[in-house]
Each structure stands twice: as C-alpha cells, then as structure tokens.
Amino acid sequence: MEAGPAGRPIIIYLPGGGDFDDWLANLSGQAFHVVRARDIPNAADLARSCRPDLLLLGQGEHVDGLQMVCRERYPNSPLGWLPAVVLQRDGDVGSVAAGPSGPDEFLSCAHSPDIAAVRLRAVLRRERPMALTSRLVWGDLELRHDERRVFAKGYPVTLSFHEFNMLALLMEIPGQVWSRQELQRMVGGIKAGSELKAFNRALQTVRRRVTPPLGRDPIQSVWGRGYRLV
C-alpha cells in the first residue's frame, strides 16, 4: 500500500454543506495528507491515482448510501471500500444514519485538530490498520503500528486487536481523560459497537499484561470521568 508524503495517510475530502477549509488546513498538519475532490466522479478518479486510506465527507445529500453508490457506479475505484467519516458542525454529530453502506464515524469540526486526528487514526486502526506506520512512546511503553506490537520496558506484550487499539488511543495523548463511552466508540466503532463486559475485559487485560514488566499500572481510573495514561 502506498502512503502519503512522509508516510502520512491520505484522506480524500468530498465537500458537502458548510465551509471546513480552515479546519482542514490545520488537520493537514496532524500527520495526514488531505486531497480535496470536486465531486464524486473526481473523488473516484483521485482514488485510482493516489490510493487513499480514508474518505472524509462534509455532510450533504451525497452522504447516505455513498459507499454503495460508489461500488455500483465506480467498480474500478477503491472509493466505495474506504472507511468513511462524516464531518459535521457541532451539535449535528450522528444525525446521518449509520447503515450497512453508511459512514464509519462522525466527526465534529468543534474538535481541535489534535483530537480530530486521534479520532481519525482510531478509524484507521479499526478499518485500515496498515495505513498507520507511526510509533508511540510513553515512558517505558512503546507501541509500533506497522508491526502491531507493544513493548513494556523492552519486553513484548501480547494484545488482541481491540486491546492494542485501546492502548494506542490512551497513548496518543497521555494524560487525556477519555470517558468509557468515548473509548468504546473509538475502539468498537458506531456499527459494531462494544458491549460493556467486553470493554471491561479488554481494559483489564491491557492492565494485567503491561503492569508486571512496568512495575506499575499505567492506566488511571478518573472517578466519574473515565481513564487516562499516567
């Protein structure tokens, strides 16, 4: 799979309602390469040439069922098979139904570029993990996206797909408190979701496997708010 400049994942942006250009310019500095499309046919052409990793949509009439339309009308383009994220104004998040051919996630432009980047990488980790090649380091913890491996004080730690993604989210912005609902959503997605028991089991497993080599539990429970890496 080809990557964007300096290994950055490529995002095709298809405008809809609202002007998000300034917000997107800031997002482009967060380890993504954003390519703007004029319309769906142009986006399909771009998808053939630049091999993107994600489709970002400004909310509009073309959002619902877009992926199904692309699969039927542009069969030689990867556009219809890309993970799709709908960009919306604050307060509108989730107003588009998520069906079999609907978006994989919703993103509010009220999010700062760094938080938005974390959420977009969460989608890529779920839907297109090979698009990420970065390395995350926090203290004695190291996470390698390209190998999907974790090391604690140099010792390899075995984690499942969802456990790896959960730890990666916490390592993206150490100290950032994520609610249980946010972590469930970003790890499990809006289609499959994540049951509370499965979430608790994954969190306990991550803690159990990284604590012995580190000599401490790096995941702190913040009463009434959620979890963070410390």
In the chain, what are the domain boundaries? 5-131, 135-229
CATH of domain 135-229: 1.10.10.10
Q: Which residue has the tokens 């249980």?
A: 180
Task: Check residue 100 and give its pLDDT.
Answer: 46
* Residues 6+ positions from 49 with CB-CB distance below 8 Å: none
Quote the Cα angle for 173-179-183, to 5°.
Answer: 70
CATH number of 5-131: 3.40.50.2300
Task: Tell me the HSE value of 115 on the side-chain side, using a 13 A CA sphere.
Answer: 12
pLDDT of 208 above 80: yes
Question: Which tens digits make up the pLDDT trace of 104-156?
Answer: 888 888 888 889 999 999 999 999 999 999 899 999 999 999 999 999 999 99
Q: Is pLDDT above 60 for 95?
A: no
Of the two residues 184 and 88, the one the predictor is more confident about is 184
Query: What confidence score (pLDDT) does residue 57 get?
Result: 85
Look at residue 224 and give its three-state secondary structure. coil
Q: Please tell me the pTM assigned to this model.
A: 0.86
pLDDT value at residue 3? 45
Which residues are within 8 A (CB) of 74 and not within 5 positions of it... i.e. 6 or more apart? 40, 41, 44, 47, 80
